[in-house]
Structure 1
């Protein structure tokens, strides 16, 4: 199967029944905790027949925006994803804009696809106001500052490397749970300075 303008990807087990939070394993309801329960990892089955050139190849592993799993329709009384193209093989169609990270195989490093990258916000200890009753010390995000976790080629050409501190648009960033850490998916246009 080949998509005309879409990538065809295989997503094994689109939703998990449990998630790990620290040392505790919790059961999740995919209707309530879609962001945590969704499996955002896939493998490219086929490339689009028409469209722009891509560096991706069949067999590459990808991390994608999980909304392709959420957008549902009712078909004969059963809820299905509008992106599902072959339920038996668990194949979905997706546009290139929905692919966030990619790698050639499990031994390769993840890289941002096109203008996508992953960052983690820099944290600082929240100021505790002293009084009779005080709560525990907490952390908060430093507004507009982040650390690059997974870079893309465009920013790499500008000299940005993984682990570097950057200044970003403070109103951007989609939370993404990856490797037991909350990261944020942003685009190159959201990077203001390095």
Structure 2
């Protein structure tokens, strides 16, 4: 199998039966309603496109956007998903749908092309004191426009894993990975590194 314009990835499971919560609890879910949480985001890269000029990442694990599993391309009224015809579990994916790559389970994620994986910084909401007895417990909310870097990217060599950045919060896609809600942003949306 040769990839001409797209990467070819492989996964044996498209949708998992369970997902993890923030607390680590594993719950069963219905793929009709919880596609973002149940989709298998970590896949293996099997083939590279002919015109790809980057590092050889064949055999690497990739963190991907799940829309390749749920979208249909229509040709003369006939709907087809991105699965390679005749090869079950193999899918075609464009480079901009690969969020990050890593060599194996023990290595760190590296942002692919112009992508960056970050985690929102949470802070406690201010408790409004309406009386002498405070009943409400403080809740955590995302600090608007600030995040912690989880994947390095060669386009931003000054950033390392764990750095706090300010980003354009009008953009970004929520990504669920191992029970955590992360954020996928483009390198151009990273505004500054917070010292």
What RMSD in Å do the two structures reach over aligned CA positions?
A: 2.2
Alignment correspondent of 2:16: 16
Alignment correspondent of 1:4: 4
| 1:87-122 deviation line (CA, Å, top 9, x unaligned) | 653000000111111112233221111111111111
Alignment correspondent of 2:123: 124
In structure 1, the residue corresponding to 2:176 is in which secondary structure? Answer: strand
User: Is residue 61 from structure 1 mapped to residue 61 from structure 2 by the alignment?
Assistant: yes
| 1:63-101 deviation line (CA, Å, top 9, x unaligned) | 111110111369xxxxx8611114653000000111111
2: CA distance between counterparts of 1:52 and 1:24?
40
User: Is residue 176 from structure 1 mapped to residue 147 from structure 2 by the alignment?
Assistant: no
Alignment correspondent of 2:26: 25
How many Å apart are 1:57 and its aligned residue?
Answer: 2.7
Against the structure 1 CA distance between its residues 35 and 87, is the aligned structure 2 distance closer, same or farther, given a 3 Å change threshold? farther
How many Å apart are 1:24 and its aligned residue?
Answer: 2.8
C-alpha contact (below 8 Å) 1:128/1:134 kept by paired residues: no
Alignment correspondent of 2:72: 72
1: CA distance between counterparts of 2:181 and 2:174?
6
1: CA distance between counterparts of 2:73 and 2:27?
28
Which portions of structure 1, spanning 4 or more consecutive aligned residues, are displaced by more than 3 angstroms? Answer: 86-89, 132-135
TM-score by length of 1: 0.88
2: CA distance between counterparts of 1:103 and 1:161?
16
Alignment correspondent of 2:82: 83
Question: Could you list the runs of 5+ residues in structure 1 that have no partner in the other structure?
Answer: 75-79
TM-score by length of 2: 0.87
For residues 134-145 of structure 1, the aligned pairs below 5 Å read: 134-145=135-146
Question: Could you list the runs of 5+ residues in structure 2 that have no partner in the other structure?
Answer: none
Alignment correspondent of 2:36: 35
User: Is residue 191 from structure 1 mapped to residue 195 from structure 2 by the alignment?
Assistant: no
Against the structure 1 CA distance between its residues 176 and 30, is the aligned structure 2 distance closer, same or farther, given a 3 Å change threshold? same
